[in-house]
Chain A
């Protein structure tokens, strides 16, 4: 998916070294998503996906960073979340994303879930060289085709 356009919102950088940082990152992600113009439901999807990839950072690499920024493509606005670490990396990225839910565990489950929740997700990784996960969610794509935001809480 294209990521042309310029970021209008200031980039948010959250260092990830503990599970408390993961909570901070997902809160920033939710707030940024709402500010950019995503719905409350879409923001919840983003926050949940961030929770998963932040856990992967602390569990598999110890520490890293999550960067959040806005993306525009014509009329569309969206949010980009990038998680980067200098950990051991993933030998077979394709296998992680290709696996089905039942066979995933640990690292795979979090990435798999994040991909279901976001509009797209890509992984760049090499053994020994860390991992970068980049994922996007656009406004107006809806969630399950339902307007959940007008049904109370």
Chain B
């Protein structure tokens, strides 16, 4: 599996271990929604530090996760976007609507605790 999802207190932490195909992105999207429901999580952190590319499909999937989780009172925080990936997303015009971002995992947990 190229993604691991761990539970820490009332949060879930998903670490993406390698670049994903669209099929794997869909599986991740569905797992993030299902696991938040199953664990009654209050927040989910998605660590994308190892992703070399965040394109429209990944962006849209993360937005779907955030929108759905919000209905369950859970926050979605994306952490670790690489500088070059951030620049590409910005140039593209991709927006992570409804998603909070933080520099890294630690900052993400602080954000959820705040």
Contacts and interface: CB of A to CB of B under 8 A. Distances in A.
Interface stretch (B7-15, B33-41, B67-75, B78-86): B78-86
Interface string B46-85: 0001001111110000000000000000000000001111
Given A20-B21, A116-B91, A117-B91, A110 B84 contact: no
A64 B54 CA distance: 23
B107 interface: no
Query: Which range holds the interface residue count of chain A?
Result: 20 to 34
A45 B92 CA distance: 9
A interface SS class:
helix
Interface residues of B, number: 23
Nearest to A46: B88
Contacts of B19: 23, 27
Interface of B: 19-23, 49, 52-57, 82-85, 87-88, 90-94
The 9 closest A-B pairs by CB, nearest first: A44-B84, A19-B22, A41-B84, A19-B21, A113-B92, A51-B55, A148-B83, A48-B88, A143-B87
